[in-house]
């Protein structure tokens, strides 16, 4: 496994991290089996994946509880637990809330569910326009001092928001959406992170499964699966993205003897101090992990990839549909539409 320090925290983590949103059984088409989920997390650790990313909102506590279960019995010390705070839910709706009181309450609940007395990396899930950033930052700085958390992260923050935050607390990591198809973070988040020694946890490294290469035009998503609303999965875009995946897969096989999945993860790992978040809920999904490790894409490959995307994806779109509303927003989305 390749490893990296999370900013200047002194914490060393694997560069591939396990994403446990689907394990929470919310917005990924229904409830997951607890035994299989526990097995997936333990299988990740056995493969050298030490960073486990979760959040209270992933199944409203369920993902965190399953992570706690999986790490009980001696694995806690081997894992770097990354969880989040700053989203609130009631009656099936979620809102942003990064107030000091909310963060304090969430940290205690996360510690209880995770069965631990410290969180390695605590991340503000989404910026909250109703709470001054320095108040949220000061709360995290206090939690760091108290030893309840070992490092501070933000997620879905812009560079300007990070700059404000850093006036009251250090930032060790940022978590933006970032993958071959979703590159908005290149505008200011990645450069800011590089400049200030901040690790980048890239979420959606497989673009919600598209870049795993197994989704076809015949794939149907069930129940509350977010891809039923994701604009990338609706025509006419869906066909364009599938055609791009097929072309990237052909290129990966010809040039490296690997699949598009390995190419996509390796591409993320080649973009600086990055960590690729890989969402999995079955142990076998992690079988290709080693294919993404120990090699580099050269400039020619990067150019070819960009050419393929430019030629095929005529109408690109980002992951903005996932942004949760602020409190009191008349348009507040039901939980099944926001994450
Ligand atoms: P992702 O990692 O881009 O993709 C997950 C999808 O990939 C799932 O559909 C899964 O299939 C599929 N997959 C995984 N391994 C596969 C394999 N070997 N073969 C075929 N398909 C495979 O999606 P993500 O969950 O959106 O992102 C990863 C993590 O990032 C999340 O779990 C979460 O921890 C974090 N995240 C954070 C935020 C935030 O706001 N901070 C937002 C989104 C995600 P199945 O559907 O069959 O399981």
Structural domain boundaries in the chain:
3-329
Q: Ligand 1 mean position to 145 CA, how many Å?
A: 33
Q: Which residues line ligand 1 (CB under 6 A)?
A: 19-22, 53, 125, 155-156, 175, 203-209, 212, 214, 277-281, 285, 288, 339
Closest atom, ligand 1, to C-alpha of 286:
18
Question: What does the alpha-carbon distance between residue 181 and residue 144 come to, in Å, rounded to a whole number?
Answer: 35
Residue 23 contacts by C-beta under 8 Å, 6 or more apart in sequence?
A: 32, 37, 40, 41, 54, 58, 59, 62, 63, 66, 67, 281
- Residue 32: is its pLDDT beyond 90? no
Nearest to 275 by CA among 54, 30, 12: 12
The beta-strand segments (E) located in the chain are: 3-5, 12-14, 16-19, 51-53, 80-85, 87-90, 93-96, 121-124, 152-155, 173-175, 199-202, 274-279
Q: Locate the ligand 1 atom nearest the alpha carbon of residue 175 and give its number.
A: 41
Q: Is the four-CA dihedral 207, 211, 216, 217 of positive or negative sign? A: positive
List alpha helices for 27-172, DSSP H. Answer: 34-46, 62-71, 100-114, 133-146, 159-165
Contact 66, 119 (CB under 8 A): no
Q: What are phi and psi of 322, to 5 degrees?
A: -85, -10
User: Quick one: average pLDDT of 70-86?
Assistant: 96
Class of domain 3-329: alpha beta
Q: How deeply is 48 buried, as exposed, middle or buried, from its count of CB atoms within 10 A (0-12, 13-18, 19+)? A: middle
What confidence tens digit (pLDDT) does each residue in 164-204 have? Answer: 999 999 999 999 999 999 999 999 999 999 999 999 999 99
Torsion of CA 295, 300, 302, 305, to 10 degrees: -120
What is the spatial distance between Cα 212 and Cα 205, in angstroms, rounded to a whole number? 9
Distance 293 CA to ligand 1 centre (A): 18
pTM equals 0.96
Active site residue 192: no
Q: Which residue's alpha carbon is nearest to atom 10 within ligand 1? A: 209
Over residues 61-80, mean pLDDT: 96
What lies within 8 Å, CB to CB, of 260 at 6+ separation is 211, 212, 213, 245, 248, 249, 252
Q: How far is the CA of 21 from the centre of ligand 1 (A)?
A: 7
Mean pLDDT of 292-297: 97
In this prediction, residue 338 has a pLDDT band, given cuts at 50, 70 and 90, of: very low
């Amino acid at each position: 496994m390749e490893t990296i320090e999370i900013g200047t925290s002194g914490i060393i983590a694997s560069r591939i991290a396990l994403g446990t949103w689907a394990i929470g059984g919310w917005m990924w088409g229904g409830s997951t089996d607890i035994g299989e989920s526990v097995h997936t997390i333990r299988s990740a650790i056995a493969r050298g994946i030490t960073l486990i990313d979760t959040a209270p909102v992933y199944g409203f506590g369920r993902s965190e509880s399953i992570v706690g279960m999986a790490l009980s019995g001696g694995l806690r010390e081997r894992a770097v637990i990354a969880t989040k705070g700053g989203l609130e839910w009631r009656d099936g709706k979620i809102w942003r809330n990064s107030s000091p009181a909310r963060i304090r309450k969430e940290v205690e609940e996360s510690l209880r569910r995770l069965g631990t007395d410290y969180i390695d990396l605590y991340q503000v899930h989404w910026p909250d326009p109703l709470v001054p950033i320095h108040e949220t930052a000061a709360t995290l700085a206090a939690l760091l001092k108290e030893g309840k958390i070992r490092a501070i992260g933000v997620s879905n923050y812009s560079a300007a928001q990070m700059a404000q935050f850093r006036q009251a607390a250090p930032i060790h990591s940022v978590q933006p959406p970032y993958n071959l198809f979703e590159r908005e973070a290149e505008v200011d988040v990645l450069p800011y992170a590089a400049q200030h020694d901040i690790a980048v946890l890239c979420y959606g490294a497989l673009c919600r499964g598209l870049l795993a290469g197994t989704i076809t035009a015949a794939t149907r998503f069930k129940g509350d699966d977010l891809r039923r609303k994701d604009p990338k999965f609706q025509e006419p875009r869906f066909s364009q993205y599938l055609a791009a995946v097929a072309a990237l897969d052909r290129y990966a096989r010809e040039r490296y003897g690997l699949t598009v999945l390995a190419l996509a993860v390796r591409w993320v790992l080649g973009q600086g101090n990055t960590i690729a978040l890989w969402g999995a809920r079955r142990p076998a999904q992690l079988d290709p992990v080693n294919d993404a490790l120990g090699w580099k894409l050269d400039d020619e490959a990067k150019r070819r990839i960009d050419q393929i995307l430019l030629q095929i994806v005529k109408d690109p779109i980002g992951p903005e549909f996932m942004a949760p509303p602020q409190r009191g927003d008349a348009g507040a989305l039901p939980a099944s539409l926001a994450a």
